[in-house]
Amino acid sequence: MFDLLIRGAKIVDGTGAPAVSGNVAIKDGRIAYVGADEQKAANTIEASGRLLAPGFIDTHTHYDAQITWDPWLRPHSAHGVTTYICGNCGFALSPLSPGSLDYLVPMLAKVEGIPHETLVQGAKVNWNSTGEMLASFDGQVGVNVGFMVGHSTLRVNAMKDRAHDSHASRDDIDSMKAQLRQSLEEGAMGFSSSHIETHVDHEGEDVPSLHSSHEELLELMSVIDGYEGTMAGYVLTGFKPDAEAMRKMAEVGLAANRTFAWPLLVPGLHGEDMMDAKMAATDVAREMGAELRVQAPSCPVGVYISFKNGLGFDMFPGVWKDVYRKDHAGRVAAFADPELRTQLEEDAGKLPPGANGQYRAAFNNYEVQTVKSPQYEKYVGRLMGEIAKEEGRSAFQIIMEMVVADNLETVFVPRDPNVDELAIWKDIVRCMRDSRTLWGGDDGGAHIDVLEAYSHSTRFIENAVNRHGLMPIEEAIHNFTQVPARFIGLRNRGTIAVGNHADLILMDLENVAVTPVEVRADFPANGERLYTGAKGIDYVIVNGIPIIAEGEYTWAKPGQVLRAGKDSYTVDIKLGAKTTEGPLLEAVG
């Protein structure tokens, strides 16, 4: 007698093999049977006409805080993701030392775009060590989640007020290494860091990891090589990587002796030249004996822009960073200053070609999404370039008037009026099929006021698979499941096979779609965020227990807290492009 039987599904097992019809039975949280024979179970899901796939695996998320008040990581899990890696980009909530949260909480509010009061009231941090954190989540989460240790967090613990000092003493580095070793021994999944220009804290300063030397970073990365099943995370630049940047990233992978995927390559926002340059970093790494890939979301990323917290704008040249060192009232006053407005516009035009934020400086392409002031409601849904032409003024100057009147609450979405949507989807498919990329980079849990890219797997199935027929569903599922599992070395996850954890999604393939983007004030302290649900994903099953059944959350908490070594193995970086390759498993059934 099995615990659960999924009967008559079209099974896509994650390996890329053709779909077959059959039954899947679950016992004690594991897949216990895959085949065509009838089986008996305590509970049965009739799945005729629906597609069964492994749960999706997202290797780059920032749910370190949200998981404390939302064990199901809604709505990300509604899009079929059952396993998450947190602690990316050097930002983590363990280990902690006395006073660390005084800096880390406002820093996370700024760099990850989460309302500060939401973190203050919502984040239930009742631990100091990583071991204590992991234990606090055991049996209390609805999804599978693993945590890396963050470089900025270690620097704050070890150096206190000197965390923004570019010089770390021998004692500082030894302290960071000791904290890292202890966290890895207690089950942390690895170590992450950042040197990207956009990571600026609430005080307008670069976050602590950006002040570290390359040598400090390599010394810390080398620690994880001594621990089975650990992984590395690193992002160096938001600009087009030059030869030195590519070499440095490869050196990080070699020091750690681990694979790592770095954000971000965004077809539709990045031109072909930028895409090719970012993927070329993998070619350099492989020549040096390392294995790194660039993360690429599986849909065009819509960015909802406001001038409230400065994400992206504080990497603009000139006076922009000074403006975002001010408090909210100071920013409003700055944007109201006619002379400063002129300087801001001039400085935005000096952004170097190839910068990640280039689209932010194309003010004519801003479409007005939402306004607070009645006099600007007539602009909603229109491009600023058209409005500027009608009024005979600069688009930027009109934008400044709007955001000041709206107390910085105006929201814009960049639109390219000449965009070829099909061409973008073709670029996305090209990226997914290139062995130098890895699906991901949606930053789930972060930038909740400007991004809802966590829905990108659903968007890909809706558009690239169903609407345009650019990729078969078997290949898409393979990229969402087995490929990331192999790349980071997850044990017994990523495919439908006997003995694997029963992380599964059951979907009505033809009707998979996203719901309209909306703003919800459903976070602690009425914090607002962008929210996009999913249609057609009927069941999400984690370790054999549905957390979503017929499209509704069940509030079950069957998730597992992943621990390095126990739940992961060390990936051999010498395999290079073959890291995620392997013979297709024999078609089930």
Nearest to 310 by CA among 409, 206, 200, 194: 200
Residue 275 has pLDDT above 80, yes or no: yes
Give the phi and the psi of residue 3 in degrees, each rounded to 5.
Answer: -80, -40
Give the DSSP H or E segment for 528: strand 527-531
Place of tokens 């009231």: 121
What's the mean pLDDT in 23-36?
98
Chain segment 378-398, per-residue pLDDT in tens: 999 999 999 999 999 999 999
What's the mean pLDDT in 7-29?
97
Chain segment 523-559, per-residue pLDDT in tens: 999 998 989 999 999 999 999 999 999 999 999 999 9
Residue 586 has pLDDT above 60, yes or no: no
The lowest-confidence range among 73-87, 212-226, 427-441 is 427-441
Residue 583 has pLDDT above 90, yes or no: no
Rounded to whole angstroms, the Cα distance separating 73 from 68 reads 10
Residue 582 has pLDDT above 90, yes or no: no
Domains in the chain with CATH codes = 2-54+496-577 (2.30.40.10), 317-350+372-409 (no CATH)
Rounded to whole angstroms, the Cα distance separating 234 from 229 reads 17
Name the token pair of 297. 């979301």
Residue 513 has pLDDT above 50, yes or no: yes
What's the mean pLDDT in 431-457?
91
Rounded to whole angstroms, the Cα distance separating 405 from 96 reads 41
Position 189 confidence tier, pLDDT thresholds 50, 70, 90: very high
Position 587 confidence tier, pLDDT thresholds 50, 70, 90: very low
Give me the percent of the chain exceeding a pLDDT of 70.
Answer: 98
Q: Is 37 exposed, middle or buried (0-12, 13-18, 19+ CB in 10 A)?
A: exposed
How many residues comprise the chain?
589
DSSP 311-350: TTGGGSSTTHHHHTTS-HHHHHHHHH-HHHHHHHHHHHTT
Residue 354 has pLDDT above 80, yes or no: no
Name the token pair of 554. 């069940």
Residues in Cβ contact with 13 at an 8 Å cutoff, skipping those fewer than 6 apart: 34, 53, 54, 495, 496, 497, 585, 587, 588
